[in-house]
Amino acid sequence: MADGGLTYRDAGVDIDTATRGLRRVKSLIEATQGEDCLGGVGGFGGLFRMPQGMSEPLLVASTDGVGTKIHVAVMAGRHDTVGEDLVNHCVDDILVQGARPLFVLDYFACGTLTEELLVDVVSGFARGCASNGCALLGGETAEMPGTYQPGDYDLAATVVGVVERGALLPRSDVAPGDVVIGLRSSGLHTNGFSLARKALFERASLTVVSRPQILGGASVADALLAVHRSYAPLLLPLLPGGAVKAMAHITGGGFPDNLPRVLPAGVGAEIDAMAWEPLPIFRLIQSSGDVPDAEMYRTFNMGMGMLLIAAPDRAD
């Protein structure tokens, strides 16, 4: 205890650390904010002007976290990618409804805050927003000793996007005979890490610095922390053409739980699992934990992070 009266720092919360860290990333945050952002950084709430020139805009919002991928980041001492993971995950979630992202709000909670941890995490958020053309509009940093152990932290984010009502997906004309097109993932993205960690670290006794031959020289950390891919830069320019009838982001629940969410009643889909080769990290997880095929495809994206549905004559 400090001499004299008890302070917030004595209780485990250092406001000055947060202030210094945010000062270091202020320019990164400001770089994501365009002319539709009003009020600058530091207000009690973020201000954003509705996009101009839309006839019937609908706001689309989604909130998520990165789950236990954070444990791998902590084990590896790499914290500058999980914020980017989270932005891309949330952007992909609203992309399946045809929406482009406008802004992101982040929440960062930890047991003991350091400047470097804050700078790494927030810089990842800012990089994700910049690459997706949206603003990091505001956020919250919470230091909560006792709730989180020293070194532990958690992240959440909310994205708000916009889509014209007439361009909302999925469309109602998804029908038997349509084609399902898979877009490759960069790795696990942000799902299945509890199973992956148990298989790799407990069953196979690997570590984050292990370099199994199947990974082609990459470490376990390299493969597990590969940044969740955003499909927005690829797909947003294509959507106005009308070829895409529906999209499914392959997240928790894998193929059997996510693709049916965008199919009309009475319509199913058949996936040919031989049409692509799963990434090596999935083969390593499966062999390390003796995981059944069905469990793999319901837990992981298996190398296909986004599925598109199109009419056969529009597939090419």
pLDDT per residue rounded down to tens, the chain (316 residues): 446 687 767 667 777 777 787 777 777 777 787 788 777 676 677 888 888 889 999 999 999 999 999 999 999 999 999 999 999 999 999 999 999 999 999 999 998 888 899 899 999 999 999 999 999 998 888 889 989 888 899 999 999 999 999 999 999 999 999 999 999 999 999 999 999 999 999 999 999 999 999 999 999 999 999 999 999 999 999 999 999 999 999 998 999 999 999 999 999 999 999 999 999 999 999 999 999 999 999 999 999 999 999 999 999 9
Which of 195, 199, 229 has the alpha carbon at shortest distance from 212?
199
Same domain, 200 and 139: no
Same domain, 43 and 161: yes
Contacts for 172-179: CB closer than 8 Å, 24+ residues apart: 172/264, 173/245, 174/245, 174/246, 174/262, 174/263, 174/264, 174/267, 174/309, 175/264, 175/267, 176/267, 177/311, 177/312, 178/245, 178/309, 178/310, 178/311, 178/312, 179/309, 179/310, 179/311, 179/312, 179/315
- Look at residue 174 and tell me if it is in a domain: no
Q: CA-to-CA distance for 165 and 153, rounded, in angstroms?
A: 38
Same domain, 154 and 216: no
Q: CA-to-CA distance for 295 and 196, rounded, in angstroms?
A: 12
- Look at residue 9 and tell me if it is in a domain: no
- Look at residue 27 and tell me if it is in a domain: yes
Same domain, 157 and 31: yes
Same domain, 22 and 152: yes
Last residue of a domain, one of 167, 196, 211: 167
> What's CA 206's distance to the chain center, in Å?
25
Q: Cα-flanking dihedrals φ and ψ of residue 17, to 5°?
A: -60, -45
Same domain, 76 and 115: yes
The pLDDT value recorded for residue 34 is 76
Same domain, 151 and 265: no
Same domain, 124 and 198: no
Return the CATH number at 68. Answer: 3.30.1330.10
- Look at residue 172 and tell me if it is in a domain: no
- Look at residue 217 and tell me if it is in a domain: yes
Q: CA-to-CA distance for 29 and 13, rounded, in angstroms?
A: 24
Last residue of a domain, one of 114, 147, 167: 167
- Containing domain of residue 236, as a range? 179-314
Same domain, 43 and 150: yes
Same domain, 283 and 303: yes
- Look at residue 10 and tell me if it is in a domain: no
Q: CA-to-CA distance for 286 and 22, rounded, in angstroms?
A: 41
DSSP-based three-state secondary structure for 105: strand
Same domain, 123 and 254: no
- Look at residue 2 and tell me if it is in a domain: no
Number of domains in the chain: 2
Residues 126/262, Cβ–Cβ less than 8 Å: no
Same domain, 130 and 190: no
Strand partners, 107: 140, 156
Element containing residue 73 per DSSP (H, E): helix 69-76
Amino acid at 287: S
